[in-house]
Amino acid sequence: MSLLEIIDLKTHFPTPNGFVKAVDTIDLRIAKKETFGLIGETGCCKSVLGHSIIRLIQSDAVMKGKIIYKEKNLLEISEAEMRNIRGEEIAMILQNPTTSLNPVIKVGEQIAEAIRLHQHLNKKDAKQKAIEMLDAVRIPSPSQRSDEYPHEFSGGMKQRVMIAMGLACDPALVIADEPTKGLDVTIKIQIVELMKEITAQKAMLLITHDLGVAAEMCDRIALMYAGELVEYASVIEIFENPLHPYTRGFLDSLPGRGLVPIPGMSPSLIDYPDGCRFHHRCSHVMEICKHNHPGMTEMKDGHFVRCFHA
């Protein structure tokens, strides 16, 4: 039984030029303790999906579909109920730790706040637990550092703090948005190791554009393009047997495989092309691709792709 099931999700933002369809029909399932990677080019779609799950989207956005978590549709529950879920059941670790930490509140307090709120501990106990969390993310001298401000931490340290904050209340599902973006290679490796260890018993949706990190951490991987998923399968399948031309292109653009970029540009999120949304950039484009929009089909056991060519 999956922990999280997203059915037919659409998140559209109204703009003067039309609706920005950042999430345009997404179906996916995440099982308990599974790490699910969401890969795509740097843009806004992936993060929007993450924000949609946790329902932190701007108020004028239109969300349709279902997000089933523990038998509840998250899109239908009240804001108060949703607030209980945030942090406690589903935690999101936002991008960019430098701007995502409040500069005028001590680090320990930022972690303890969530603990007090969801686990109803008193101030002293919460603070102690926060220190334990800092220790769990391998920050040296945690009790001293918990009284410091974010700007006193390095980039890698700040990322650890973000992780500590997210995991403080022992959520069942963690959404990690680009946790290794902008970090040095050595730090990246450390963070990946840490995250693997610390989320072993949890479900995680890992949003990243870094395939290397995804390969290390994920059980399954999905590729997102133009607001929809174009392929998903186990991590091994994706790397050994990529079916969608976009996936292949993405893999080819890795340093280890030749750094070949995918030609063309991502489509506008307001006016998607007719037919297959990737057809303008596809080297295997066929007549049918220009007019018909392919559905998601299961090619092998557990390996799904949205392509006429496969």
Partner 1 sequence: MLDYILKRILQLIPALLLVSVASFSIIYFAPGDPAETLLTGPDGDVDPKSVEEFRTKMGLDKPLHIQYLIWLNNVLHGDLGYSYRTEKPVFDHIITSFGATFKLAVVSLVISLVISIPLGIISAIKHNSALDISCMVGASLGVSMPNFWLGLLLMLLFGIYLDWLPVAGYGTGGDIEHIILPALTLGTGSAAVTARLMRSSMLEVLGQDYIMTARTKGVSEWVVIGKHALKNALIPFVTMVGLNFGYLLNGSVVVETIFGWPGIGRLIVDSINMRDYMMVQGCMVFIVLLFVTVNLLVDISYRYLDPRIRYERA
CB 138 to partner 1: min, Å? 21
Torsion angles phi and psi, residue 162, rounded to 5 = -60, -40
Shorter beta-carbon distance to partner 1: residue 175 or 243: 175
Shorter beta-carbon distance to partner 1: residue 88 or 216: 88
Rounded Cα gap, residues 263 and 279, in angstroms = 11
CB 169 to partner 1: min, Å? 8
What does the block give as tokens for 83?
């607030």
Provide the b/e sequence for 15-31 (b: ≥16 CB within 10 Å): eeeebbbbbbbbbbbbe
The burial class, CB within 10 Å (0-12 / 13-18 / 19+), for 231 is: buried
Dihedral over alpha carbons 72, 77, 79, 85 (to 10 degrees): -10
Q: Point out which residues bind partner 1 (CB under 8 A).
A: 54, 56, 82-88, 91-92, 94-96, 99-105, 110, 113-114, 117-118, 149, 151-152, 162, 165-166
**DSSP per-residue string spanning 197-243:** HHTTTSEEEEEES-HHHHHHH-SEEEEEETTEEEEEEEHHHHHHS--
CB 118 to partner 1: min, Å? 7
Shorter beta-carbon distance to partner 1: residue 24 or 88: 88
Shorter beta-carbon distance to partner 1: residue 131 or 289: 131
DSSP state of 86: B
Shorter beta-carbon distance to partner 1: residue 8 or 147: 147
CB 98 to partner 1: min, Å? 9
CB 86 to partner 1: min, Å? 4
Shorter beta-carbon distance to partner 1: residue 86 or 306: 86
CB 65 to partner 1: min, Å? 21
**DSSP per-residue string spanning 163-188:** HHHHHTT--SEEEEESTTTT--HHHH
